[in-house]
Amino acid sequence: MKMYRKCICEICTCGRHRCPHQPTALHSNAKAFKGTSEYVDKYPPYGNVCQVESLRPKQEYQANHGRMEGITTFRADYIPHETAQRPVHIQDEYRPKTGQMDLGTTYKRDYNEYKIERVAPMRPLENKRTSGGKVNTMPTYKDDYRAWDLQKRQLVKPDYDYQPPAVIFGNPTTFQDDFSPKGLVSTGNFKPPNIARLSQVPFDGVTSHRISYVQHPLEPKFSRPKQVYKPSSQPFDDLTVHQRDYKGQYLDPVKSFKPEHTKVATDSRFDGITEFRDRYQPWEVSLPFVHKQAEYVGPDGKIDLNTTTRIDYVPHKVSMASPIKPVSQSKKNNAPFQGNTTMKEDYKAWEMYRQEKSKLREEIPRPSGKFDGMTTFQSHYVPHGISPVKSFKPVNAVRQSMVPFDDGTIYRTEYTPKMMDICPASFPSPLGYVFENTDIQGHKIFRKVPEAEINTSLVANGVHVPKEVIVMS
């Protein structure tokens, strides 16, 4: 019979047994390496080797065994030294070397010139096959094209010889050359006069609405009759289920577990001495070095304020250019201003009167005299007797029956017991398998045993598996 190997994950049938996988495996392949190497030959494998215990002390909390001293290793071992100012390096004065500078370099000294000849081309010469006949160099354009006798077009532009002006800013502009002054032209106004047209016919006030409107009578508005209030004949029951069934219990008030607030105070006087004042030792500190700025000394003599512009500039007399545009001549009218307008002439003010306010007529007359303190609710209120409301809630009472309880269910009548399968991986050693080894990923590999050896293995392990297991609810 062919034997093969299985993992505990493959033997399990219930899905609850898994091997502890190790994520630090060097290879993803779970198969063991069966090849030979120099390391495997020289170093044979050993049995179970215990892990070497670490000699490193455990990091445990050490409680305080006494009062903490304020002296540190820096304070105990520090020795103050006298410090001096860092010396300043004075740069030497530059003195140029005498004699001529040797401009020779190693490149000029060691370089040897070579005569370079032109490299002959490696490309073979092109064999041109020429014929002995003459080439006709006349193209089709020259053969077919016939030139026309066209006369040169004369320029319409007049000849203008530029002559530079003899006076500064003497060149006139194109606007001055082309602009010809013209007199003022009076144009007629075609706008119609804004005069109101008054009609001599009196306004009759008749409109199309007044002519075409036909008045229809309105139907009376439907009003629903008001229902008369009918009080209930049953007395009002103001008892609720909570008021009827609730029975109050008298309990002691809850005690507070909060500690009492006591003021922490002492009668001793504060002496003002602290650990810093007691152990602090003042050090002598030298003042920082202050650099004194040199006093400003002004230059001797007067300052020459003349510039190249003042010395070389030659002023020119420039006359202001006169405008060519004619001056607009405004006509002054000495006649008095006439304040009449079309609005004042055509508008006639109407006599307006203030409209009176439209007030509703008061239906209820205002009372006269002193208020007696009687309201409409007190005067019209009719007291009614209160009748308790009947509760329609069913009575919460236990109904007892003399008929015996029928506890028969569909599950009890139709349930058939079945054999319960036991997962072979639940045993320390699965039935029919023998533990072989554990691979690098943490899988437990079991080797299948033939059926002839299963009975002997059961007796050796002392595990007896029942044939059928019946489970009843």
State phi, psi for 309 to the nearest 5 degrees: -70, -40
Residue 404: predicted pLDDT: 83
Q: What is the pLDDT of residues 288-344, one digit of tens each?
A: 888 888 888 888 888 888 888 888 888 888 888 777 777 666 666 777 777 778 888
Residue 383: predicted pLDDT: 86
Give the mean model confidence (pLDDT) for residues 55-59: 79
**Binning pLDDT at 50, 70 and 90, where does residue 469 land?**
very low
Please indicate, yes or no, whether the overall pTM of this predicted structure exceeds 0.85: no
In angstroms, rounded to a whole number, what is the distance separating the alpha carbons of residues 71 and 279?
A: 9
For residue 461, pLDDT beyond 50? no
In angstroms, rounded to a whole number, what is the distance separating the alpha carbons of residues 437 and 446?
A: 7
Q: What value, to the nearest 5°, has the Cα angle with vertex 447 and ends 443 and 452?
A: 155
30 compared with 355, residue with greater pLDDT: 355
Q: Taking phi first (over 0 means left), then psi (-120 to 50 degrees means alpha), and beta for anything else, what does residue 442 get?
A: left
State phi, psi for 268 to the nearest 5 degrees: -75, 150
Residue 455: predicted pLDDT: 55
For residue 254, pLDDT beyond 60? yes
Given a contact cutoff of 8 angstroms between Cβ atoms, the answer to whether 12 and 423 are in contact is yes
HSE, side-chain direction, 13 A CA sphere, residue 437: 8
Range with lowest mean pLDDT among 97-106, 349-358, 361-370: 361-370
**Binning pLDDT at 50, 70 and 90, where does residue 153 land?**
confident
Residue 462: predicted pLDDT: 44
**What residue ranges do the domains of the chain occupy?**
1-19+420-467
Q: Which one, of 459, 465, 461, 448, lies nearest residue 7 by Cα?
A: 448
Give the mean model confidence (pLDDT) for residues 13-32: 62
Q: What is the pLDDT of residues 428-459, one digit of tens each?
A: 788 788 888 888 777 788 888 877 665 544 44
- The residues near 470 (Cβ < 8 Å, ≥ 6 apart) are 417, 419, 420
HSE, side-chain direction, 13 A CA sphere, residue 288: 3
Residue 391: predicted pLDDT: 84
Q: Which span out of 197-201, 290-294, 407-411 was modeled with the highest average pLDDT?
A: 290-294
Given a contact cutoff of 8 angstroms between Cβ atoms, the answer to whether 415 and 473 are in contact is yes
**Binning pLDDT at 50, 70 and 90, where does residue 2 land?**
very low
Residue 463 in tokens:
């595990």
pLDDT averaged over the chain? Answer: 77
**Binning pLDDT at 50, 70 and 90, where does residue 464 land?**
very low
Q: What percent of the chain is predicted at pLDDT more than 90?
A: 0
Residue 25: predicted pLDDT: 45
